[in-house]
Amino acid sequence: MFEMKEEYKVGVAGIDEQHAKLFELGEKAYQLLKDEYSIDKYDKIVAIIEELRDYTIVHFKDEEDYMESIHYKKLFSQKIDHEKFIKKISDTDLNKIDQNQDEYIMELLNFIAKWLTNHIIEKDLLIGRNN
Ligand SMILES: [Fe+2]
């Protein structure tokens, strides 16, 4: 579901490494969701999603610092996107996942995967070209 591909590479090593780590965390949560035999699977999934959220906050900060350092013109629009994404994930009450757990988590992971991929392709790739 989450896969770092060659075409997602921005060309800035630090950013690409962090994007890869975000995909890794997302994939870890997804694999657990599919695992029928895992004990305490929902607790583990919630922990990974929390880790993903926290790491995303660190990543956005680093990415914004980089954009600032190269005087990137679209920094403001990136910041708005980043804030919206963090808000959406933070507003998701992970402790309330007790009914239709699988469906709920699947929807959330789908949202994260789509958002990350679209954001990288439509916005982050431009950072590498500085335009
Ligand atoms: Fe990014």
Both tokens assigned to 74 = 């679209």
78 alpha carbon – ligand 1 mean position (Å): 9
pLDDT at 47: 95
Express each pLDDT in 5-23 by its tens digit. Answer: 999 999 999 999 999 999 9
Residue 130 has pLDDT above 90, yes or no: no
Q: Tell how far the Cα of 39 is from the centroid of ligand 1, in angstroms.
A: 33
Task: Kindly give the distance from the C-alpha atom of residue 84 to the centroid of ligand 1, in angstroms, as a whole number.
Answer: 13
Distance 63 CA to ligand 1 centre (A): 6
Distance between Cα 16 and ligand 1 center (Å):
8
Q: Are 126 and 74 in contact (CB under 8 A)?
A: yes
| Nearest residue to 60 (alpha-carbon basis) of 124, 4, 111 | 124
Token representation of residue 52:
């993903």
**Could you tell me the distance, in angstroms and rounded to a whole number, from the CA of residue 82 to the centre of ligand 1?**
8
Query: Separation of 36 CA from ligand 1 center, angstroms?
Result: 32
Cα 29 to Cα 56: distance, rounded to the nearest angstrom? 15
The answer to whether 33 and 106 are in contact (CB under 8 A) is yes
Measured in Å, residue 92 CA sits from the centre of ligand 1 at 21
Tokens, residue 116: 């990350």
Q: Tell me whether residue 77 is exposed, middle or buried, using C-beta atoms within 10 angstroms of its C-beta: 0 to 12, 13 to 18, 19 or more.
A: exposed
Does 36 or 22 have the greater pLDDT score? 22
Q: How confident is the model at residue 3 (pLDDT cuts 50, 70, 90)?
A: very high
Instruction: Supply the pLDDT for residue 97.
Output: 66
Q: For residue range 51-102, what is the model confidence (pLDDT) as tens digits?
A: 999 999 999 999 999 999 999 999 999 999 999 999 999 998 877 766 678 8
89-95 — which CB contacts under 8 Å span 24+ positions? Answer: 89/49, 89/52, 89/53, 89/56, 90/53, 94/46, 94/49, 94/50, 95/46
